[in-house]
Amino acid sequence: MNGPGYYELYRKTTIGMSLIESLDNLILDQRIEPQLALRVLANFDRIIAENIKEKLKAKLSFKGHLHIYRFCDDVWTFVIKNVDIKLDHNEVAHADRIEIVANNSKRIGET
Amino acid sequence: MDFNFSQVVGLIETLYSNTLAAGQVVQVQSQLQQFQKHQGSLQVADQLLDPRNNYSLECQFFGALTYTVQLNQIFSTWGAVVDDESDIDDDETLKGATGTDDTRNMVDQLTLRQLSHLNNLLTQHFVHRQPNLFVIKKVFSNLSLVYCHNFHNWTNPLLSFLGTQDDPSISSLRLSVANIEHHLQASLAGSAQKLQLVLLFSQIIIEDILKNNTMSDHLDQQLHTCLRKEVFVVTEFFVNYSMNLVIEKLNNNNNNNNNNNNNNNNNNNNNTPKLSNDNNQLLADAVRCYTAWTSYISFSYLNSTEKFIIDPTLNLLIKFLLCHQTSDQLINDSDSIFVVIEFLTNLLETNANLLNNSFKQTINDLIFKDWGMNYLNFLNGSGDDDLIENEKSVQDFAKLVISYFELDMVRISKLLVDDSCSYIFQALMKLTAFPGTPILDEEISRDFIEFWLETSDTLIDDTDSLLILLKTTENLQLFKKNFKTLLELLGKTYWTKVQLPLANQTSMKMIKGQYKDEYFSYRRDVGDLFDSMYVIIKDSIFKFLFDNIINNLNVTSLTLQNASEVEASVFLINCMCSNFSEGNVPDEIFGMLVHLFSFHRNEEINFLKIGLITNNSYLMNTTVSFLSSINFFYKSEQGLGFLNEILDYLFNLLSLSIQSKELPGKFQFIVARAIASICSQCRTFLASSLFKFEPLLFNVINSIDFKAFTREKVINSVSFIIQGIKNPQTQGEYIVKLLQLINDQSTKIFSEIKSGRVNNNHDLNILLDYLVSLLDCVLQIARGMQLPEESVIFYNDEERQLVDNFWIADNLGIHSMILQIISGFSLDPELTNIFITNHNNGESLGVTDGSVKINYHNLVTEKCCEIFRAGLCEDINGPFVFADNQIIIDYVLSKFEDTKNRIDVDKPHSSMTLSIGYLFGLLETFVSANYRKLSKEAVTNCIITIFVMNPQLLNSDVDLFTNALQFLNKVIEKKPDLLFYISDNSANYFATILESCMVVLKQSNEKFVIKTVVKFWCNLITLRAGTRENQEYITRIFIDEQFGQKLTNVTFSALLKSTRSNYEIYCDIVRNMIGKYPLQFKQWANNALILINNQRVSNGKKALPDIRQLISKLYLTKGTRKVNMVIKDFWLAANGLMDI
């Protein structure tokens, strides 16, 4: 069942862009209608959100200097400087600056 | 194409027979699809759908599918007329939106025909027991499709469905709740199955509407209204009716039981459907239907002004739960209880906006008052065994509790100061401490981790908000005290949970096997929880864990339980230590650490020995991780005294891990990394111990048995300590010793290989791996010798001067030793041949699955380049800093010449080109670090050698071209003046490079190549670090030599052909051209686009959209980021694609 709308932000990922470009080719070759492409993408939005929620187990923690933060239209933005990132299995990474854009994990229409 | 009936049936049967090859399936499908679009297909569909004709279920389904195709064809032009909101009330427009009279009549007829088929199919299903539910669902779905488009004319499909069973005429399509409610009871007489079907139909309608919410806005508004006034009213009636039936039956049963199984059931009236003893199915159907509706209602709240009242139904669900008080009732209806709890949990998690405060309070009472506690006690039964047996139910109840609290985490703070609510926390703690090993036996404690984490994060130190909420400071103090106590208890619970079941071999086998990732992920989550809890409960949690370790050490003989407890404690302490860095560690922690390391220090059982005594790899592993995370302790006055002892312990472990076959290979890696970490952090404290490492150094360099990683990490660790010595002479002497050892050993191996005595490939590979590892040791020395901070901070003025002078003089000849080693490895022709013809299969890199095949020649070149690179960014002279720039340029050019001569340019993507890539990478860093000191002649010479003299080589591999271009980009970025050196033999070299870059820009499809070449052109256009002469030179090339026009042609041509993810990269060129050449670019762009348009038209492609408009829009943006939007619209229009 399709619930309320899902975020479209995963369309910008590599897998999302690959799907969109494949759909573009199918439309250009006149093998599918644009409406079907939209339907496929709507399914993609749902499936990727569900899979990330259910199957993704990797975690990281980080420490750094919170340089900027803001909350607008239900979206948090954090700019963090001099960040030490700890990944699973004690792997570590460092970044001079990272920006985190966090959308509400609950879907549109939910509180 | 004409179809006859038997031909269609034959094709359908063939299609579903599973005997066709893939190609045949496509062919049959294509024929059937043509049939479905055919005018007379519905007559055939009617025949197929009629159960009296006895066609297979597949044929029936195909009949329903044919209806779908025909309906979609009708509705594809159905609502096209409505395009102006102001006309929405106009009757004519509305007619247009809902089809012409003829079409509407046709749709009505099709609807009736399907309703009629539905009646027959239901008879087939219920009377003849045919498993045709999937066909019925498809017909429901068709009717739902009709309703979505035709709701103005057909307002209530549910009533029509019921009505046509008695009166299959057009009047059934005009039934509405306004005049029919009194018929509902009668319609339901005698059949629970009919109830279930209405619920299913309603569910399908609402799910389809959610799926197809792309209709125009004002149609949607009317649809929302129609849904609420008609379909929802009927659905609510049926859902509530179903639940009342179930509840009534439960009450009757209860009464009957109370009256000694009195069989007279007087409460059932004659119209009430007969329910089987199993209430579960009807209730499940009702809840499933209502779940779909709550999702829709949540959606409609955002998209319409319709308000739905759902409280009566929700209260019935609560009433249903409250009917279950005794164990028998709870057991009999456990499935239904599960369905309702799951519904409530979903509602709280995803659609809580539908709930008012009154209902939230109802849920609170349900969970935490009599029913919830009674239910929990029932699940708990007579102890842990019962609890484990009911794990699924407990987990669902726990999820309900968690979702309820997550509505408002701050609510917990209020409960914490209310003594009468203490039972709630006891219940939560009981659920968290669910018996069994997590993941293997239970998942409830995992579900609670996130809850507790969020609780502690929400309530951390937010004194101001808490004070407002709790009103008085007394309450606030009480809250803090109670919260701390709660978290301490929680800490003990999870400490037990993270203990490895070392004594249980079966569990350990599962943890090492299928549950490995999940189990250790659980432990990391608990670690995060402790990290968060520490902020609130501070040292008491540390004290608990340290005390536990001490208690376990205070025994005469160790058991696996001791090891398990110590491992869990050390693991959690380690997690919390991430809070600490130098300067923020409480004194108490130092005290506890001192106590830990000094306890039984000289006796048989102490902290450092417990892992070795129990021979437990998990404990050793965790202990090593812990030792490498408390560098703050070693640097302190209290901890310094333990540093040598701990390093000795780690080196012992390293030796042990090399000898032991039981310890996993990864363990060596962990220990070596821990040693490197400690040596890096505590380098200045370890200088006096350096002599102790000499035997080990000799051993790791001369023994082939060490893993390459271990050898390299040990050398790296010792190099850190050497770097920490402030006296350069002592430093130099140690470095000479190391380099001499490496040089002697590698020379010995070279001779052995060159002698030809090694004729076995396996042995040769072992020796080559060893050689590469020795070269890597030089790299590790170079990295170890890098200053950890700026020289002015690390040294005082006097020391700095001393060090600088020492390395300029280099009396020990260290620079030449390094060059000798590099030359021996990288420039010896005979050895290079051996390196080129052999491959590293990954074993030395820890990969054993055969996926790795690296050319030794590439490895050696990479390491040599890295050795040079290590000294490039130092701000003071040192052992790996080469003052003469020409040394690196000479190395790069000699190696480049040597390698390119070995590459067959006719075979693109030779693995050898990787080596050349490393050389270009070194040049890039070299320019970045030394551009101020470089001569124009030297740089131009490099560029001519690479770009002008070897175009065929660069063109043979885009990776290579990209690497070379990155070097060129660096020159343009840092000091473009270096590029414009003109001598006799370099007069036109720059134009040659530009032509090559133009070709690459035009032909490349790979994102990384396009990015690099676009960056090149952008750098060249802007020339930020260029002198006036440089600017004039480039402007002349762009305007006088027409490169501006050429670049514009190529950019637009490539941009229009590029894919969706790439077109934006080219926008940077457009933006920079508008900024730098505003006057000329307008004409260039116009010329380029007209040329491209003419080519497209002559090739039979669609013409470009308005070119003038594009250029005007581009100029309105003034070269800002808005250019990207303008180009995007143009790209979409030119390619006939939509914005996604």
Among B381-385, B586-590, B609-613, B882-886, name the one with the lowest average pLDDT. B381-385
Region A4-8 average pLDDT:
74
Strands A75-87, B854-855: pairing kind: unpaired
Are residues B665 and B773 located together in one domain of the fold?
A: no
β partners of residue A77: A70, A101
Is the domain of B768 the same as that of B823?
yes
A84 touching chain B per CB within 8 A: no
Per-residue pLDDT, B305: 84
B1031 found inside a domain: no
CA distance to B45, B328, B859, B1047, per residue, from B989 (Å): 75, 93, 33, 18
A·B CB contacts under 8 A: 77
pLDDT at B84 over 50: no
pLDDT for B223: 86
In the predicted model, what is the mean pLDDT of residues B968-983? 84
Supply φ then ψ for residue A75, to 5 degrees: -120, 125
Cα-to-chain-centroid distance, residue B68: 38
Amino acid at position B846, single letter: G
Q: For chain B, how many structural domains are there in total? A: 3
pLDDT of residue B1126: 96
Same domain, B416 and B381: yes
**Which ranges constitute the DSSP H helices of B407-553?**
411-416, 422-432, 444-459, 463-470, 473-497, 505-512, 516-537, 539-553
What's the confidence (pLDDT) of residue B928? 93
Contact A107 B350 (CB under 8 A): yes
Q: Compute the half-sphere exposure of residue B971: CA atoms within 13 Å on the CB side of its CA.
A: 24
Query: At B978, phi and psi to the nearest 5?
Result: -65, -20
pLDDT band at B938 (very low <50, low <70, confident <90, very high): confident
- What integer pLDDT is reported at residue B952 of this predicted model? 83
Domain annotation covers residue B788:
yes
Percent over 90 (pLDDT), chain B = 37
pLDDT at B909 over 70: no
All residues of chain B having their beta carbon less than 8 Å from the beta carbon of residue A9 are none
The per-residue pLDDT for B1035 is: 92
In angstroms, rounded to a whole number, what is the distance separating the alpha carbons of residues B840 and A87? 29
The domain boundary, picked from B864, B892, B913, lies at B864
Tell me which chain A residues have a C-beta less than 8 angstroms from the C-beta of B578: 61, 63, 86
Chain B residues in contact with A90 (beta carbon < 8 A): 625
Token pair in block for residue B1117: 């943006």
B1051 vs B866, B1040, B1110, CA distance in Å?
36, 19, 15
Residue B1030 sits at φ, ψ, to 5 deg, of -60, -45
CA distance B944 to B985: 9
Question: Residues B742-746: contacts with CB within 8 Å, 24+ apart?
Answer: B742/B701, B742/B774, B742/B777, B742/B778, B742/B821, B743/B817, B743/B820, B743/B821, B743/B824, B745/B701, B745/B702, B745/B774, B746/B771, B746/B774, B746/B775, B746/B821, B746/B824, B746/B825
B839-840/A60-72 β-pairing: unpaired
Q: Is the full-model pTM beyond 0.80?
A: no
| B1064 contacts in chain A (CB < 8 Å) | none
Residue of A nearest to B300 (CA): A109
Cα separations in angstroms, B353 against B588, B926, B959: 48, 60, 54
Ranges B444-448, B627-631, B813-817, most confident: B813-817
- Per-residue pLDDT averaged across B764-774, rounded? 91
Q: Indicate the residue of B292, B524, B1140 with minimum beta-carbon distance to A20.
A: B1140
HSE-CB at B508 with a 13 A cutoff on CA atoms is 12
With cut-offs at 50, 70 and 90, classify the pLDDT of residue B355.
confident
- Could you tell me which residues are beta bridge partners of residue A101? A77
Q: Choose the most confident range, by mean pLDDT, from B42-46, B210-214, B559-563, B863-867.
A: B863-867
Q: Pick the more confident residue, B728 or B952.
A: B728
The shortest C-alpha distance from A39 to chain B (Å) reads 9
B1083 by DSSP, 3-state: which? helix
* B857 in a structural domain: yes
Identify whether the C-beta of residue B335 lies closer than 8 Å to the C-beta of residue B279.
no
The fraction of chain B above a pLDDT of 70, given in percent, is 88
- B854-855 and B839-840 beta bridge pairing: antiparallel
Say what the pLDDT of residue B580 is.
Answer: 80
Cβ–Cβ of B298/A106 closer than 8 Å? Answer: no
Last residue of a domain, one of B864, B899, B916: B864
Nearest to B1056 by CA among B1019, B996, B1096: B1096
Residue with token string 């802007």 = B1022
Q: Quick: pLDDT tens for B1081-1102.
A: 999 999 999 999 999 999 988 8
CB contact under 8 A, A24 and B1135: yes
List residues of B whose CB lies inside 8 A of any A CB. Answer: 207, 210-211, 213-214, 292, 295, 298-299, 301-302, 349-353, 517-518, 521, 524-525, 528, 531, 578, 625, 1059-1061, 1135-1138, 1140
Residue B787 domain flag: yes
pLDDT bracket for residue B494 (50, 70, 90): very high
Within 8 A by CB and 6+ apart from B143, the residues are B111, B114, B115, B118, B157, B161, B201, B205
pLDDT of residue B806: 95
CB contact under 8 A, B210 and A86: no
Overall average pLDDT of the B486-496 stretch: 94
Residue A70 has pLDDT above 80, yes or no: yes
Residue B1032 vs residues B81, B952, B1026, B1047: alpha-carbon distances, Å = 61, 31, 10, 18
Task: Give the pLDDT confidence of B291-324 residue by residue, as tens digits.
Answer: 999 988 888 887 788 888 888 999 999 999 888 8
Backbone angles phi and psi of B817, in degrees to 5:
-65, -40
Average pLDDT estimate for B64-75: 88
Taking an 8 Å cut-off on Cβ atoms, the answer to whether B295 and A34 are in contact is: no
3 state SS of B840? strand
pLDDT of residue B1049: 96
- What average pLDDT does this structure show over B267-277? 48
Residues B383 and B517 grouped into a single domain: yes
For residues B340-361, average pLDDT: 86
- Chain centroid to CA B354: how far? 31
CA gap B217, B300 in Å, rounded? 12
Please state the rounded mean pLDDT for residues B621-648: 90
Mean pLDDT of the region A11-36: 90
Chain B: closest CA distance from residue A70 (Å): 19
pLDDT, residue B814, reads 96
Distance, CA of A74 to CA of A9 (rounded, Å):
14
| CB contact at 8 A, B32 and B8 | yes
Query: Within this chain, do residues B665 and B740 fall inside the same structural domain, yes or no?
Result: no
- All residues of chain B having their beta carbon less than 8 Å from the beta carbon of residue A83 are none
> Any CB–CB contact under 8 A between A1 and chain B?
yes
CA angle B163, B285, B373 (to 5 degrees): 140
In the predicted model, is pLDDT for residue B179 greater than 80?
no
By three-state DSSP, how is residue B1115 classified?
helix
Domain span at residue B463 reads: 356-537
Domain assignment present for B153: no
Set of chain B residues whose Cβ sits within 8 Å of the Cβ of A27: 1136-1137
Nearest-by-CA chain A residue for B406: A111
Interface test with A, best of B215, B443, B1138, B1139 (most A CBs within 10 A): B1138
What is the least distance, in Å, from the CA of A42 to any CA of chain B?
9
Is A73's Cβ below 8 Å from some Cβ in B? no
Residue B873 is inside which H or E element, if any? none
Same domain, B380 and B400: yes
Shared domain for B464 and B533, answered yes or no, is yes
Which pLDDT belongs to residue B185?
Answer: 63
> Pairing relation of β-strands A75-87 and A92-103?
antiparallel
Least confident interval from B126-130, B215-219, B289-293, B847-851: B215-219
Give the tokens for residue B9. Answer: 């049936």
pLDDT over 90 at B776, yes or no: yes
- CB contact A30 to B (< 8 Å): no
Are residues B637 and B571 part of one domain? Answer: yes
Domain match, B743 and B851 both: yes
B10-16: long-range contacts, CB 8 A cutoff, minimum separation 24? B11/B35, B12/B48, B12/B56, B12/B58, B12/B59, B12/B62, B13/B56, B13/B58, B13/B59, B15/B58, B16/B56, B16/B58
Q: Are B373 and B427 in contact (CB under 8 A)?
A: yes
A109 chain-B contacts, CB cut-off 8 A: 298-299, 301-302, 351, 353
Contact B301 A21 (CB under 8 A): no
- The verdict on B423 and B508 lying in the same domain is yes
Structure tokens at B914: 């990787």
Residue B942 has pLDDT above 50, yes or no: yes
| Complete DSSP assignment for B620-669 | HHHHHHHHTT-HHHHTSHHHHHHHHHHHHHHHHHHHHHHH-SSS-HHHHH
Q: Do B524 and A59 touch (CB under 8 A)?
A: yes
B88 pLDDT above the threshold of 50? no
> Is residue B460 one of the residues assigned to a domain?
yes
Residue B87 — very low, low, confident or very high, per pLDDT cuts 50/70/90?
very low
- Most confident stretch, B101-110, B599-608, B946-955, B1090-1099: B1090-1099
Q: For residue A2, give how far its alpha carbon lies from the nearest alpha carbon of chain B (Å).
A: 6
Contact between chains at B521 and A3 (C-beta distance less than 8 A): no
| Chain A residue with minimum CA distance to B525 | A59
DSSP designation for B948: I
The shortest C-alpha distance from B781 to chain A (Å) reads 22
Residues near B383 by beta carbon (within 8 Å), at least 6 away in sequence: none
Q: With CB atoms and an 8 Å threshold, state whether A59 touches B207.
A: no
A contact test, residue of B295, B571, B1131, B1135 with most A CBs within 10 A: B295
Secondary structure of residue B892 in the 3-state scheme: helix
Residue B493 near residue B429, CB atoms below 8 Å: yes
Report the mean per-residue pLDDT for chain B.
84
Q: Which residues of A touch B574 (CB under 8 A)?
A: none
- pLDDT tier for residue B971 given thresholds of 50, 70 and 90: very high
CA distance B71 to chain A (A): 17
Q: Which of A17, A34, A109 sits opposite B1060 (nearest CB)?
A: A17
Q: Judge if B528 and B632 occupy the same domain.
A: no
Domain ends where: B836, B864, B892? B864
Of B301, B349, B1138, the CB nearest to A34: B1138
Between B106 and B840, the more confident residue is B106
* Any domain includes B695: no
pLDDT exceeds 50 at position B689: yes
Q: What is the largest CA-CA distance in chain B?
A: 117
Query: Measured between alpha carbons, how far is residue B650 from residues B341, B642, B646, B668, B697 in Å?
Result: 53, 12, 6, 10, 15
User: Shortest Cα distance from A110 to chain B (angstroms)?
Assistant: 5
Distance (Å) from the C-alpha of residue B482 to the closest C-alpha of chain A?
Answer: 29
> Which of B58-72, B364-378, B842-856 shows the highest mean pLDDT?
B58-72
What average pLDDT does this structure show over B775-789?
A: 95
Contacts of B447 in chain A (CB under 8 A): none
- B787 and B843 part of one domain: yes
Min distance A93 CA to chain B CA atoms (Å): 14
pLDDT tens, position by position, A32-57:
888 889 889 989 998 998 898 888 87
**3-state class (DSSP) for residue B43:** helix
Residue B771 pLDDT > 60, yes or no? yes
Q: What is the DSSP letter of B354?
A: G
- Which of B298, B627, B1065 is most worth mutating to test chain A (most A CB atoms within 10 A of its CB)? B298
Strand partners, B368: none
- Domain assignment of residue B1033, yes or no: no
Strand partners, B78: none
For A1, which residue in chain B has the nearest alpha carbon?
Answer: B207
Query: Which of B211, B301, B1060 is facing A21, going by the closest CB pair?
Result: B1060
Q: Do A1 and B292 touch (CB under 8 A)?
A: yes
Give the residue from B563, B491, B559 showing the smallest Cα distance to B527.
Answer: B491
pLDDT of B336 reads 85
pLDDT score, position B729: 94
Q: Find how far residue A74's CA is from the centre of its chain.
A: 15
The pLDDT, as a whole number, for residue B869 is: 95
